[in-house]
Structure 1
């Protein structure tokens, strides 16, 4: 495969897609461990493979409708990660002892939803990137 002809946005979209595979596995394991006690836990579990497939399609097939679909997915992912951050932060706070350091260590991972959002933002940067 000749990578010298690939633009930076194409490489970033491929990276974001593959990163959603990894983060999707991690999110699924964490939420499965908690028995999906809240319906919102399904959002990153279902959306991660969709983001992966959409990004892989866009990497090799740059049709305008795929481009628009991927952009909409990335906006949704950025928002979903922020909502997840709220739920995780609140989840730490309702544990015995509130927002004590030990609850941040053993409670819901507060940084993981922010990583979900950050990946979406990186995908949006790749979509909106304009080389002048």
Structure 2
């Protein structure tokens, strides 16, 4: 089954699986914080949709699905950067703010939303590589 799959198709499948795993982690982190900010719901809702779309697209190469997935990935790029901003602000709101290195360890993970940005960029590269 895998023989003959172009790298672009494998990368789209990988992006879908990565979005699914990130969705689990983000849901656990945000539910632990009781969804204190409305933006915490955004990745919890969109990441499973991204995952399913990518996985389906890796098996069914429909033109309209590629367009939808492209728009989702652009949204993922922007959402990840916005999430990193919100997480950075969240670290600063902890006692001691940015001067306490411990806040970067126990506060909102700044890198996690950037991982969403990176996987979105990987998906776009896979879609437009050829």
Q: Same fold (TM over 0.5)?
A: yes
State the 1:4 CA deviation.
Answer: 2.1
So what's the TM-score if we normalise by structure 2?
Answer: 0.97
CA distances 1:9-66 after superposition (whole Å, capped 9, x unpaired): 0000000000111000000000000000000001100011100111111111111100
So what's the TM-score if we normalise by structure 1?
Answer: 0.96
In structure 1, what is the equivalent of residue 30 of structure 2?
31
In structure 2, what is the equivalent of residue 113 of structure 1?
113
Q: Give the alignment's Cα RMSD to 1 decimal.
A: 0.7
CA distances 1:54-91 after superposition (whole Å, capped 9, x unpaired): 11111111111001011111110111000000000000
Unaligned runs of 5+ in 1: none
Unaligned runs of 5+ in 2: none
Count of aligned pairs between the two proteins: 129
4+ runs deviating over 6 angstroms: none
State the 1:95 CA deviation.
Answer: 0.9
Alignment of 1:1-132 (within 5 A): 1=1, 3-99=2-98, 100-130=100-130
